[in-house]
């Protein structure tokens, strides 16, 4: 699975384990989020599916990896700063 800024999910996991928390941008809303970790879905229907945990404004979210990759893009820190400034201006 290829993602902008990462060769694959294993690279992202390695960054998380080393204490890095990559910034991502939601493609539709342009909101900036921080990836904070991974989890295993334990619900009966989807048991065992790997999920990505991410946050914005101290609120946690979780999505299945495939859906996350479709809806988010990984970005450089300078691009994150631009997006944060734009969001603050809109408030």
Quick one: pLDDT at residue 11? 77
User: Are 8 and 14 a contacting pair, CB within 8 Å?
Assistant: no
Q: What is the torsion angle, in degrees rounded to the nearest 10, for the CA atoms of residue 64, residue 70, residue 75 and residue 81? A: -80
pLDDT tens digits, residue range 57-88? 999 999 998 888 888 887 655 554 555 555 55
Residue ranges of alpha helices (H) inside the chain are 9-17, 65-71, 77-90
pLDDT tens digits, residue range 5-53? 454 677 788 888 999 888 888 989 989 999 999 999 988 777 788 999 9
Could you tell me how far CA 59 lies from the centroid of its own chain? 13
- Total-model pTM: 0.71
Q: Give the other-Cβ count within 10 Å of 33's Cβ.
A: 22
């Amino acid at each position: 699975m290829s993602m902008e800024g990462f060769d694959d999910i294993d690279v992202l996991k390695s960054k998380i384990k080393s204490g890095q928390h990559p910034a991502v941008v939601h493609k539709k809303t342009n909101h900036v989020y921080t990836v904070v970790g991974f989890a295993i879905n334990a619900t009966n229907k989807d048991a065992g599916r790997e999920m990505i945990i991410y946050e914005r404004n101290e609120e946690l979210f979780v999505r299945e990896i495939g859906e996350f990759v479709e809806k988010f893009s990984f970005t450089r820190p300078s691009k994150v700063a631009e997006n944060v400034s734009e969001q603050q201006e809109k408030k």
